[in-house]
Amino acid sequence: MIWQTARFSIDLTRPRVMGIVNVTPDSFSDGGRHGSTATALQHCEQLLKDGADILDIGGESTRPGSTAVPLEQELARVLPVVRAAVSLGAPVSVDTCKPEVMQAVLDVGADIVNDIRALRQPGAAAVVAAHPRCGVCLMHMHRDPQTMQLAPMHGDVLSQVRSFLEMAAHDLLALGVANHRIVVDPGIGFGKTPEQNFALLAKQPALLAMGYPLLVGWSRKSSLGAATGLALEQRLVPSVTAAVLAVERGASVVRVHDVRETVAALAVWAALQQAG
């Protein structure tokens, strides 16, 4: 299975690790640590040394209760980092929902658009469709970052998430985007209760039946804190465990903060698969 992106055809026959690069002062886990272009680029380089296959750069926090960032501010945060990161020899993804940001980063060489709103903003789908090769990740989110955890989803989470992602992918295909450019993300933590998040993990194979590779982000999420009682800064082991469990259930890409530890854990998982 291949994920086609702007510059790279990513082989998904083995799981890939996407390293998180937050160029923000307020992200829920590492806000402010990589807020300048220089420190963000250093972080990109370290993640690649640690074994990241893909870099995911974001300039707007989407933690519960976060406020939207003006367009010019997001561009000022993200563009200099993307310009530098595309020279590092790895696929560069940009986490944004603004079509203007999508266009700008694709123009300077980014490979993937990773959109928590699944291209629902006016003009976003057109930007991706107009590009001949870029990859795209369509994520499910209930409501928006400002309100999603105030009123989480009700009902059967699996059927709702699957229906939404199928429709989002169908709409993109109708615009001429090839299916091998698309991956989908169930949106762990985005408007869902801990019980719903773990239900998505338990029933993850049903999402694979849609026919698209699955990208999953459990890293340091509050559901891991709910299950373990551990504070944010103590969630390394639960995060790595969740990543391995997601891969075991068929995820092709895991989006993580702790790249080195996740890569090591997946090496043990891979050795077990080869032994079997």
Catalytic residues: 221, 255
The CA distance from 249 to 235, in Å, is 21
Tokens representing 35?
């807020």
163 membership: H or E segment, kind and range: helix 157-174
Ranges of beta strands (E only) in the chain are 2-4, 9-11, 16-22, 54-58, 92-95, 112-115, 135-139, 182-185, 215-216, 253-256
Tokens representing 145?
């970052």
Please report the sign of the dihedral spanned by the C-alpha atoms of residue 27, residue 48, residue 115, residue 140. Answer: negative
Tokens representing 173?
């295909």
Contact in structure between 74 and 65 (CB atoms under 8 Å): no
Distance of CA 219 to CAs 21, 119, 215, 244, Å?
A: 13, 23, 12, 11
Reference 88, options 59, 122, 53; nearest CA is 53
